[in-house]
Homo-oligomer: A and B are copies of this chain.
């Protein structure tokens, strides 16, 4: 919910990349997966999600292609690039580090 959205700020790219490492996916599905995994506690706002896609694609961390669904709404699929994988691995380390630092700052 809104409680956590401030805290997840900064993890958007990382979370999207994590989903794309699991498998190619598209905006709507990624958001549903996130909602599932968090038992409905979290989900990106659409504007946030799509602006993240733009950012990540411009940075070369993901690429997109249109799904070939004849029926139903068109889907733009995203796939992670090697640079994306590398960036993600690095971001995982950063996250471990950040947790450590924040936790240490929240104690007397």
Q: Residues of A at under 8 Å CB distance from B? A: 3-4, 6-11, 14-15, 18-19, 21-22, 34, 37-38, 41-42, 92, 94-95, 97-99, 101-102, 104-108
Copies of this chain in the oligomer: 2
Q: Please, which residues of chain B bring their CB within 8 A of the CB of A15?
A: 102, 105-106
Verify A8–B41 contact, CB threshold 8 A: no
Interface SS of chain A: helix
Verify B97–A3 contact, CB threshold 8 A: yes
A34 CA to B106 CA in the complex, in Å? 10
Q: In the assembled complex, how far is the CB of residue A93 from the closest CB belonging to chain B, in whole angstroms?
A: 9
Interface residue from B8, B14, B95, B106 paired with A101 (Cβ < 8 Å): B8
